[in-house]
Amino acid sequence: MINKKRILSSTLLLLMVALVSFSVIGCKKEEAPKAAEAVEAKVMARTDYAGDIVVWSFTDELQDMIPMFEEEYPGIKVEFVVIPNADEVYLNKINTTLRSRSATPDAFTGEAAFYKQFINAGYWEPISKAPYNAEDLVKDLVPYVPNSSRNADGEITALSWQATPGALFYRRGLAREVLGTDDPAEVSKWTSDLNKFYELGEKVKETTNGEKYLLAGFSDMSQFIFNLRDTPYIVDNKLVIPQGMLDYMKIAKDMRDNGIESGTTTWQPPWFSSMKDGSVMCYILPTWGLHYVLKPNAEPEADKGEKEFSGDWGLAVPPASYSWGGTWIGINALSEKKDLAWEIVKYLGSDEGFLEKWAKKTGDFVSNTKVIEKITPTFSEPFLGGQNHYEYFAAEANKIDVSHRGPWDFQIENAWGDQVSLYASGNKSFDDAVEDFKKAVSEILPDVDVQ
């Protein structure tokens, strides 16, 4: 009997000790992963590299890129895992993985909404110096793309195959009805200035007896409004609300009250279906928005390469330059195969041959300026009635300034959007909306002074 008791208690004791030491180990883990010691640079041919690497991403775009990489690097086998970021699943997966100091994945992607947090935390290996020397690549890249991935020490941490300047897409048929022309240059005269843009909205309403709208929802304008600011949201630990955002709140209400936008919210099901039913004239979307949002939703057959599509779309200049989204790829700072991971980051983020093929295959706007220069003159997009969207994006890409972007912008901008909706729908006064926005920010960043 005594024996039994002793065994039981000693087993429990053992487990408790294990438990406690477990939590102590847990505490010690809370340091940022350190950059690896420099590996000696060697000149190697692409065929010399050999090994298996694991790449994680929240988007399946890479699905078609990886075979192209493997063709160039026959020795490298890439295991590709897609973890969609709906409900922040991807972000949390990366977080828990890196907190547990896992060397898997060897490379992973980050999106404009959250990659600044990765950089702050040191999840991505800095690649400016040897053996990577990413600085040598910079001269051929659209400047903001590598620059916006720089960490606190000024080092580049990730590259991207795309640059994401924004545009405005419009229905040519509706433009002819309202303006008597569908010429992009003529339409741009109406869309490139915010006041004229509003006037155009009133024209659309009058011409169609209020049955059609300028925009699907005022929230579509938020991307260029957010890009207009000349200051970060947090300066010296204080919240700054740019004037442009206050103006946007008022315009949003005017648009809602006057029936200039149709009342949907970006990314909601009615927003997608409005692309198909022809009730809305303009969508404010960036490069990827054309291929991954507008095409498949507006005319599904256009995306399959079939010829029945109408070409009833055009590209015009939005009221302000902006960039929206973008996917970067970097090396896991803890990876044991950094040399191989760097090859795929470099290949996807800078290789001219690859980027040219990719641009021609998908129409996506790439990040390498040499490739952009090379293919721009010959580009023509049937979906846009034969218009050369590359030419426009090439000019816009250089105007992008993302130096004010911070790690918490996505959350802050969402909180602003919520208040804009409440004000525009008449449920709240302007001052209350601003006050409640401040409260929302203090929930996101409790230590920031919001007054």
Q: What are the residues binding another protein (CB under 8 A)?
A: 3-4, 7-8, 11, 15, 18-19, 22-23, 26-27, 30-33, 87-88, 92, 95, 98-99, 117-118, 120-123, 262-264, 268-270, 273, 411, 414-415, 418, 421-422, 425, 427-428, 436, 439, 443-446
d(CA 85, CA 190) in angstroms, rounded, equals 37
| Minimum distance, C-beta of residue 249 to another protein, in the bound complex (Å) | 15
Q: Which is nearer to another protein, 63 or 273 (CB)?
A: 273
| Minimum distance, C-beta of residue 29 to another protein, in the bound complex (Å) | 9
| Minimum distance, C-beta of residue 263 to another protein, in the bound complex (Å) | 4
Q: Which is nearer to another protein, 336 or 436 (CB)?
A: 436
Q: How many angstroms separate the Cα of 390 from the Cα of each of 230, 315, 398?
A: 27, 11, 13
Sheet of 76-82: strands edge to edge?
76-82, 51-57, 107-111, 327-331, 158-159
Q: Which is nearer to another protein, 147 or 265 (CB)?
A: 265
| Minimum distance, C-beta of residue 413 to another protein, in the bound complex (Å) | 12
Q: Which is nearer to another protein, 113 or 315 (CB)?
A: 113
The H or E element that residue 168 is part of is: strand 166-171
* 286 cis-preceded (ω within 30 degrees of 0): no
For 179, phi then psi, to 5°, come to -105, -10
Q: Which is nearer to another protein, 11 or 47 (CB)?
A: 11
Q: Which is nearer to another protein, 231 or 268 (CB)?
A: 268
Which residue, among 253, 302, 310, 313, has the nearest Cα to 280 in the 3D structure?
313
| Minimum distance, C-beta of residue 66 to another protein, in the bound complex (Å) | 27
| Minimum distance, C-beta of residue 261 to another protein, in the bound complex (Å) | 10
HSE-up of residue 85 (Cα within 13 Å, Cβ side): 19
The distance of Cα 213 from the centroid of its chain, to the nearest Å, equals 27
Burial class (CB in 10 A: 0-12, 13-18, 19+), 450: middle
d(CA 229, CA 242) in angstroms, rounded, equals 6
How far apart are the two ends of the chain, measured CA to CA in Å?
A: 69
| Minimum distance, C-beta of residue 267 to another protein, in the bound complex (Å) | 8
Which residue, among 110, 95, 133, 18, has the nearest Cα to 57 in the 3D structure?
110
Q: Which is nearer to another protein, 243 or 267 (CB)?
A: 267
Are 175 and 187 in contact, with CB atoms under 8 Å apart?
yes
Q: Which is nearer to another protein, 43 or 86 (CB)?
A: 86
Q: Which is nearer to another protein, 359 or 445 (CB)?
A: 445
| Minimum distance, C-beta of residue 269 to another protein, in the bound complex (Å) | 6
| Minimum distance, C-beta of residue 422 to another protein, in the bound complex (Å) | 6
Q: How many angstroms separate the Cα of 442 from the Cα of each of 113, 120, 437?
A: 19, 20, 9
Q: Can you list the positions of beta strands (E) in 232-336?
A: 234-235, 238-239, 280-286, 313-316, 327-331
